[in-house]
């Protein structure tokens, strides 16, 4: 019975988080997110190619789908800590590798924040504040993304004392870091989009 619970919850987490809001919006607006910007189906690329309001919507949905899956599992099976983290990892993998989009989805950052919130709400609020500060100060969201991906498995180990759960979370986090290597190269070349340019674009235009 326990094995069935693990399998069903993991598959459901993957399937639910395979839903891509950015792909749906792109189809409605007749945009091809894969042909511009970073070329992926995520909140950052949606912001770059479709504007900040669409990027915020995509980010909110990506966060929500991850958090709701983990919250549900924690509510139904409060004592199965390992299951909570397996489902969290499956959610991020589903977002990055959706089966119906030929396994080409987003880069997983927003969904990572979602599952982290589902696991550790108060800690995630602190992490979110740090993400915003680092992104604005450094002018690159990618810096916050990589630091969060590195920190998440460590947070799991500290919170639970369970290194197995930490290693499980480390798998999708390692993929996230790898997926963002091209962005690091763009920073070096001066081609990566800057956070302050996106946030204050309208203000600068008015001037």
Q: 7: part of which helix (H) or strand (E)?
A: helix 2-17
Helices (H), ranges, 18-140: 21-28, 43-50, 52-76, 81-96, 109-119, 121-138
- 40: pLDDT strictly greater than 70: yes
- The answer to whether residues 45 and 37 touch, using CB atoms and an 8 Å cutoff, is yes
- The answer to whether residues 128 and 113 touch, using CB atoms and an 8 Å cutoff, is yes
Which residue in this structure is represented by tokens 């792109």? 26
Give the span between the Cα atoms of 115 and 69, in whole angstroms: 8
DSSP 8-state code for residue 58: H
Lowest mean pLDDT among 71-80, 93-102, 167-176, 196-205: 196-205
Which residue in this structure is represented by tokens 């870091």? 177
Give the span between the Cα atoms of 134 and 63, in whole angstroms: 19
The string of pLDDT tens digits covering residues 62-117 is 999 999 999 999 999 999 999 999 999 999 999 999 998 888 888 899 999 999 99
Q: Would you tell me the crossing angle of helices 43-50 and 52-76 to the nearest 10 degrees?
A: 160
Percentage of the chain surpassing pLDDT 70?
Answer: 92
Both tokens of 62, joined, read 């990506």
pLDDT at residue 30, rounded to an integer: 79
The pLDDT-based confidence of 39 (bands split at 50, 70, 90) is: low
- The answer to whether residues 84 and 48 touch, using CB atoms and an 8 Å cutoff, is no
pLDDT at residue 207, rounded to an integer: 43
The string of pLDDT tens digits covering residues 116-142 is 999 999 999 999 999 999 988 988 888
- The answer to whether residues 41 and 110 touch, using CB atoms and an 8 Å cutoff, is no
């Amino acid at each position: 019975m326990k094995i069935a619970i693990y399998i069903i919850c993991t598959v459901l987490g993957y399937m639910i988080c395979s839903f891509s809001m950015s792909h749906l919006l792109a189809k409605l607006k007749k945009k091809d997110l894969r042909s511009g910007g970073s070329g992926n189906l995520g909140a950052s690329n949606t912001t770059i190619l479709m504007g900040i309001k669409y990027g915020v919507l995509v980010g909110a949905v990506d966060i929500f789908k991850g958090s709701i899956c983990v919250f549900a599992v924690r509510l139904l099976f409060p004592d199965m800590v390992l299951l909570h983290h397996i489902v969290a990892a499956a959610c991020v993998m589903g977002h990055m590798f959706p089966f119906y989009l030929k396994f080409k989805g987003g880069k997983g950052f927003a969904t990572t924040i979602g599952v982290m919130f589902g696991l550790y709400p108060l800690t995630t609020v602190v992490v979110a504040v740090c993400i915003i500060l680092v992104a604005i100060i450094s002018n690159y969201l990618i810096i916050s993304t990589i630091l969060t991906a590195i920190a998440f498995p460590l947070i799991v180990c500290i919170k639970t004392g369970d290194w197995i759960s930490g290693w499980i979370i480390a798998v999708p986090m390692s993929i996230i870091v790898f997926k963002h290597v091209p962005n690091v190269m763009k920073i070096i070349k001066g081609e990566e989009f800057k956070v302050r340019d996106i946030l204050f674009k309208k203000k600068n235009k008015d001037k």
